[in-house]
Structure 1
Amino acid sequence: MSHSDHTTGRNTGRDADVAIVGTGPNGLAAGVTLARAGLRVVLYEASPTIGGGLRTESLFDPEVFHDICAAVHPMAAASRFFREFDLAARGVELLHPEISYAHPLDDGRAALAHRDLDETCAGLGPDGARWRRLMRPLLERSEGVVDLILSGQRSIPRDPAAAALLAVRTLEHGTRFGAAGFRGAEAPALLTGVTAHALGKLPSIASGAVTALLGHLAHGSGWPLPRGGSARIAEAMAADITAHGGVIHTGRRISRLAELGRPRAVLLDTSVKGLLELAGDRLPSGYTRALRRFRYGPGAAKVDFLVSEPIPWAHPEVGRAGTVHLGGTHAEMVHQETLTARGVRTDEPFVLLVDPAVTDPSRARPGRRPVWAYAHVPNGDRTNPVGLVRSRIEKYAPGFGDTVLAARGISAADLETYNPNYVGGDIGSGAMTLTQSLLRPTPRFDPYRTPLPGVYLCSAATPPGPSVHGMSGHLAARSALRREFGIRTAPSLAP
């Protein structure tokens, strides 16, 4: 499922209108947008395969494929870029589990977020009514909420009512009062498991926005997995780029901007650290100082398992969920995530887990199936996470270790070696603080444009931030089209 060098098309790079460094989802989204505007586009990827966070590879068995970074894609189903790009029309099937996510607790209990809101509320007993009050209004304004969060965050909201609702929900989820209104343990744990996707101190205003967004999408457009793996999304985007004359070079590491020749625009799908390395001393000193103040968040440590059978969860219904959060109670997650954000390593980190074959049975073979897991750890942590993650799973699925045929762990530090955009293992490309959520990477009216003529940052280090939504790349490309080429009308993204 690897993706080889694309050299079709007319331009060779030196005569390109636009050069893009990095082929993660945002680099590819920028490439799609610019190539469809009729420009000659060339993309450079240091790795042998494209995709960044959208890679799928066989690790232990040639017939079993593992998602190397991202596995579940709520934003690919919800973002404006992908809504217009239309993955389904391009042969990418997003598969939805019956239970979007689950949260096992001690003593065999579990909280379940069904895609069906009513079924979720019924399972939460006395807290079901409050869950409905939290989620129903967001579902009714979902497109406005999604488009506001996944925007450049510099313009007047298209849907003021959605903006007002989002503000209320963000404050509600982003403070210590968010879980106070629940009566049982299941609902606050279920909600806090979503909050922990923000990868930082809990609670916070930034994590409140993440909770509102991901929480309601679980009951709306969903938390789907692409049939066959995440690489399918990257392949569809790359195919569109080359169909419009673009060129993608893999195995081509760019160390300095001067290596790109003289294109009219350069877009960098890199971390802030990567921008500093590529631009060298060409950046103004004030902008450089601002970039050096950019903060990175906690790291993720990745484990891939090859197992012989489905995970033996103590609560069998957990085995129907597309995503599983392992973090214990609300109080335990708040404590653990806050320690992790402070750089304190613990033996009970928050773990996200996916058994892809639950949603996509084609990912399994007789007696062999992949399991994907991330643990939240301090930035730069060098600990091999296999034992840590295995013990966390065993707590809620006794006997899991007996099913493991092979395992591979990548520490947070090694995750940066694999993908330089993940500085210290920070898969969010920057700490999701309130300031950095709204003003990343620096306080500028156009967050994508750098002080260097024609040079733009288009990665998750720019608004709207992390996740596979393509909007950072798309919005950076829109900015470049206006400023460098005088093109103010966005090209169609439709097939």
Structure 2
Amino acid sequence: MAHDVTVVGSGPNGLVAAILLARSGRRVLLVEAAGTFGGGLRSAELTLPGVVHDVCATVVPMALASPAMRALRPDVEFAHPPVAAAHPLDDGPAVLLHRDLERTVAELGPDGRAWRATVGTSAHQDLIDTLLSPLGLPRAPLRAARFGLYGAPPATALARLFRTGRARAAFAGMAAHSMIDLRLPITAGYGLVLASLVHLAGWPVVRGGSGRLADALVAAFRELGGETVAGHRVRSLRELDSPTVVLDAEPVQFAADFPEPYGRRLRSFRHGPGVFKLDWALDGPVPWRDPEVARAGTVHLGGSLEEIVTSEAETFRGRHSPRPFVLLVQPYAADPTRGGHPLYAYCHVPNGSTRDMTAEIEAQIERFAPGFRDRILARHAMNTADLAAHNANYVGGDIGGGLATLGQFVKRPVWSLTPWRTPLPGVYLCSASTPPGGSVHGMGGWQAARLIAHDARRPARLRGQA
């Protein structure tokens, strides 16, 4: 049977697009290069038999907050840790960030009011909906304007609103998820979004592993009559005979199929730093110096604002930081079903780096959890090449789908009011290289599916105009 639509790639965006298009009555084929579906949503026994690790995405607040995921309501259980995130410090107790805003305000003491005025005022669903649909009309224009005022500057500038090193460090840890120099514009906005999600949706993991979220979305697609093929890499659009194609793929992979200058514009898209990732199986919980950190799902290891800024600036300029900022996840704090005590962490490295950062990452953990190495039963490492082999969209180990600077925030992957539409009639983009960027929200697929429905109602002579 011929298919009306072929979706290439089964990450969150591709899965959302496939489901929405199948719901509209179209015959949809989903094609995945890897042997399993999910893109960044995969789980595996990376260290020891029976110990489940998330290969890439693990903490998924956007899966609760995004309009696309809220509409699909995937059949999984989200598990919340007692503490959403923790930021250990050298000279005192860790900063604990709770889902409850007022509890976090109390935790931050003299900076609680500033946290409420910045992060708290951003923790609203209508604002998140606006930010995830960046080219639509804002649902809360005044709130969006306020967010723009706080979010447009560098993270280092917004951090000056906090009087204590504790609050500044905690905010720097949030902003460092942007994977760029925290002295650059809009890094404050990344920090505000991540911190606000702590209070709006929490920072949960998927019970049983992130792969279960992909499995649930694939099952929902198949129930609608969708067909799936795994283990087949599409190398050219010429291989496909569907009238409509949706690419949940890094666009440069198909640049040669597009006319110039569009193909050249795709090839000029820049990728950000990569990551070096470690997974461990432990014989017990991490022995944190501050025992409260054991209750946190996510732990940011980097010390002070100044240290995190230095580390991220070094990586952004192509160097390996000797004391990297480390993003660590203790899934067992929320989900005891994964078999023992699996641990997950990564640090940022230059794009394409093959350097082994095991010693540097473990030194940062030991710094705040003396005796950590004695708990290790097994270890699994992935450098940037390993990550790219796992998922071709992770070019050079860039898990964010492209450099997240201001220029590429609006040029993703090209300058266009509808960047999900290409000049080729019937061909659409939906990967993390399109707005609103990376994370498990599915909004690229949501936007592509909406454009397809819109274009089907347009005169033929107008279709394919990007």
Matches within 5 A, 1:1-400: 11=1, 15-87=2-74, 90=75, 92-107=76-91, 109-139=93-123, 142-151=124-133, 153-171=134-152, 174-260=154-240, 262-276=241-255, 280=256, 282-365=257-340, 369-400=341-372
Matched letter for residue 125 of structure 2: E
Cα distance in 1 for partners of 2:243, 2:451 equals 13
Q: Is the 8 A contact 2:47 2:380 kept in 1?
A: no
Query: Is residue 130–residue 136 contact of structure 2 (8 Å, CA) maintained in 1?
Result: no
Supply the AA of the counterpart residue of 1:240.
Answer: A
What one-letter code is carried by the residue in structure 2 that aligns with 1:335? T
In structure 2, how many angstroms separate the alpha carbons of the residues matched to 1:183 and 1:212?
A: 17
Q: Report the secondary structure of 2:158's partner residue.
A: coil
Normalising by the residue count of structure 2, what TM-score does the alignment of the two structures yield?
0.95
State the partner residue of 2:463.
none
8 Å CA contact 1:264–1:484 kept in 2: the answer is: no
SS in 1 for 2:379: strand
Q: 1:485 to 1:60 in 2, by over 3 A?
A: farther
1:44 CA displacement? 0.8
Please say if residues 382 and 414 of structure 1, whose CA atoms lie closer than 8 Å, have aligned partners that are also in contact: no
CA contact (8 A) 1:24 1:54 kept: yes
Instruction: State the match for 1:490 in structure 2.
Output: none
The partner residue of 1:432 within 404, 429, 446 is: 404
Instruction: Read off the aligned partner of 2:73 and give its amino acid letter.
Output: D
**Runs of 4 or more consecutive aligned structure 1 residues displaced over 6 Å after TM superposition:** none
Measure how far apart 1:299 and its partner are. Answer: 0.6
Residue 181 (structure 1) shift: 2.6
Cα distance in structure 2, aligned partners of 1:469 and 1:198: 16
Structure 1 residue 485, shift from structure 2 partner? 6.2
**2: CA distance, partners of 1:485 / 1:357:** 49
Question: How far apart are residue 171 of structure 1 and its match?
Answer: 3.0
How far did 1:175 drift?
4.9
Structure 1 residue aligned with 2:380: 408
The residue matched to 2:428 in structure 1 has which SS?
strand
1:333 Cα offset (Å): 0.8
Query: Are the counterparts in 2 of residues 108 and 396 from structure 1 also a CA contact under 8 Å?
Result: no
Q: In the aligned structure 1, how far is the partner of 2:100 from the partner of 2:323? A: 31
Unmatched 5+ residue regions in structure 2?
460-466
| TM-score after normalising by structure 1 | 0.90
Q: Determine if contact 1:108/1:314 at 8 Å carries over to the other structure.
A: no
Question: Contact (CA 8 Å) 1:150, 1:464: kept in 2 or not?
Answer: yes
| Aligned length, in residue pairs | 459
| Alignment correspondent of 2:462 | none
Please say if residues 206 and 432 of structure 1, whose CA atoms lie closer than 8 Å, have aligned partners that are also in contact: no
C-alpha deviations, 1:374-432, integer Å up to 9, x for none?
A: 11111111012322221111111110000001111111232112211011111011000
What CA deviation, in whole Å up to 9, does each residue of 1:156-187 have, x standing for no partner? 21221221121122135x35321113222110
In 2: Cα distance, 1:271 partner to 1:374 partner: 22
**Partner residue of 1:493?**
none
CA contact (8 A) 2:150 2:188 kept: yes
- What SS does the aligned partner of 1:178 have? helix
Q: CA deviation at 1:484?
A: 3.7
Structure 2 residue aligned with 1:473: 445
Answer yes or no: is 1:419 the counterpart of 2:391. yes
Q: CA separation in 2, counterparts of 1:46 and 1:385?
A: 29
The 1:417–1:485 alpha-carbon spacing in structure 2 relative to 1, beyond 3 Å, is farther
Contact 1:308 1:405 in 2 (8 A): yes
Matches of 2:140 and 2:110, distance apart in 1: 33
SS of the equivalent of 2:422 reads coil
Runs of 5+ consecutive residues of structure 1 not aligned to the other structure = 1-10, 488-495
Assess, with a 3 A threshold, how the Cα gap between structure 1 residues 37 and 486 changes in structure 2: closer, same or farther. farther
Identity %: 46
For 1:413 and 1:440, the matched residues in 2 are separated by: 23
1:238-269 deviations in Å (ceiling 9; x for gaps) = 11110111011111111111222x21100111
What secondary structure does 2:6 align onto?
Answer: strand
Question: 2 CA distance for matches of 1:106 and 1:187?
Answer: 14
Partners in 2 of 1:385 and 1:52 — Cα distance?
24
Tell me the distance in 2 between the aligned counterparts of 1:443 and 1:171.
19
Question: Contact 2:155–2:186 at 8 Å: present in 1 too?
Answer: no
Taking the aligned partners of 2:390 and 2:453, their CA distance within structure 1 comes to 32
* CA displacement, residues 294-341 of structure 1 (integer Å, 9 cap, x when unaligned): 111011111111111000011111111110011111011111101101
Deviation at 1:137, TM superposition (A): 2.0
2: distance between equivalents of 1:124 and 1:158?
Answer: 30
C-alpha contact 1:145 1:213 (8 A) present in aligned 2: no
The CA RMSD measured in Å over matched residues stands at 1.5
Measured in 2, the distance between the counterparts of 1:171 and 1:86 equals: 32
- Whole-Å Cα distance in 2 between the matches of residues 122 and 444 of structure 1? 44
